[in-house]
Amino acid sequence: MSLTTYWLEHAWLDTNVEPGVALEVSDGRITAVRTGVDTPPPGAVVLRGLTIPGLSNAHSHAFHRALRGTVQVGSGTFWTWREVMYTVAQRLTPDSYFALARAVYAEMALAGITSVGEFHYLHHAPGGTPYADPNAMGEALIAAAAEAGIRITLLDTAYLSSGFGAAPEQHQLRFTDGTADAWAQRVSALKDRDGVRIGAAIHSVRAVPADQLATVARWAQDREAPLHVHLSEQTAENDACLAAHGLTPTQLLAEHGVLGPRTTGVHNTHLSDGDISLLGSSTTGTCMCPTTERDLADGIGPAVALQRAGSPLSLGSDSHAVIDLLEEARAMELNERLRTRTRGHWTAAALLRAATADGHAALGWPDAGTLEAGALADFTTIALDTVRTAGPVPRLAAETAVFAASAADVRHTVVAGRHVVRDGAHHSVPDVAAALADSIAALRG
């Protein structure tokens, strides 16, 4: 059993920044945390800057990274953006998806992300024909995360209809298994393994018929697996759900047993007071994706009210307009300041918890997200001497990280006690920018 000691110049220990912290790591876990260590012990790996638990990206669509820049031409809505997204989705194969996802997950590692929740609905070949391995696309994502060196929770997604009572459209055929039972049969062949959790997702209440919601919920419940769902991202979805069922999407999910402590609603943007109460009282989580929500002009969700009601908050980069969990944390607070015209809804520590411990828990990694003995040895170091971060005193390093730093300030990322990113360079994808450029160029028609 090998033992590695990391000496942290400064470390965020849940509520405060401590100088001179030694972490002892063995078999992928932190075995001891010693404070007040003024100088690096002999043989220690030195991490200068602020070390925090690894960041958790609780909501990702890896292939959306290919849309960055291209969807910023002209105007439109979420619904017109979606048509461009479908075009990219049609061009992906297991091999090209692996190449793209490997580069995207390497970009995440460079940004200090140590686990990703991949909301995966691109299951079959164009036209809907299953691959010889029906889970070839999901396995490509799992392999990509392994090569990029980060943990993945594959949230295999049920996507069965184009709207309430409507069959899938042509470009949605590769998303669907036909029925929730067929979805469950396919996804049951996927297995947890080292660095991998298999979870479930309901794409949305418009994409899974009401009488099949419980099938997906039971699958997740039987396996004690995470269950995620896009929820009330658009007012049009709310209106259609009310017209079809006389219920809000949240009420419909509650009626079919979907809500609960292992469930996370993604976005939760347009909610009634009753919806907020249902989500909070069931301790259903909320994953906010502020950069995507503002990029798509979705709106600002009631994150403060949800948290007060009992809904734990996590963060995601969703469509990857940018991949920067520090920006997501900052944006959640700043969006609320714009909405309310008051400041200080969350402390820097609370925002870091949403980006770390609560995000990992939402993805089925409850033993990640803290720097304490017994936790997974996943952590990241943010430089405190860049043009963005230089100046503040070290005791304000958490505030500096959340409100001034960016992904570009990440210097080290460690997963399971192993350096994935060292001094800003990825160990297994030496040129991440080129890998992104090449994999995205391969998808152009």
- Listed in order, strand segments (DSSP E) in 64-150 are 113-120
Q: Which of 318, 324, 378, 409 is catalytic?
A: 318
Sign of CA dihedral 126, 175, 313, 270: positive
Residue 330 sits at the vertex; the CA angle it makes with 296 and 227, to the nearest 5 degrees, is 65
The token pair at 96 is: 């090209």
Is there a contact between 145 and 190 (Cβ–Cβ < 8 Å)? no
Q: Which of 61, 230, 256, 267 is catalytic?
A: 267
CA 302, CA 105: separation in Å to the nearest integer?
29
Place of tokens 């979870």: 199
CA 276, CA 271: separation in Å to the nearest integer?
6
Give the end-to-end CA distance of the chain in Å, rounded to a whole number: 51
Sheet with 196-202, side-by-side order of all strands: 55-60, 113-120, 151-158, 196-202, 227-231, 263-267, 285-288, 313-315
Strands 410-415 and 418-422: antiparallel
CA 201, CA 222: separation in Å to the nearest integer?
14
> Is 120 among the residues known to form the active site?
no
> Hey, which residues does 24 pair with through a beta bridge?
5, 32
169 closest CA partner among 283, 89, 240: 89
The token pair at 344 is: 């200080």
Q: Is 288 exposed, middle or buried (0-12, 13-18, 19+ CB in 10 A)?
A: buried
Residue type, 302: P
Phi then psi for residue 99, to 5 deg, are -60, -45
Strands 418-422 and 425-426: antiparallel
DSSP-derived letter for residue 167 is: P
Residue 148 DSSP SS3:
helix
> Is 419 among the residues known to form the active site?
no
CA 54, CA 369: separation in Å to the nearest integer?
6
Residues designated as active site: 267, 318
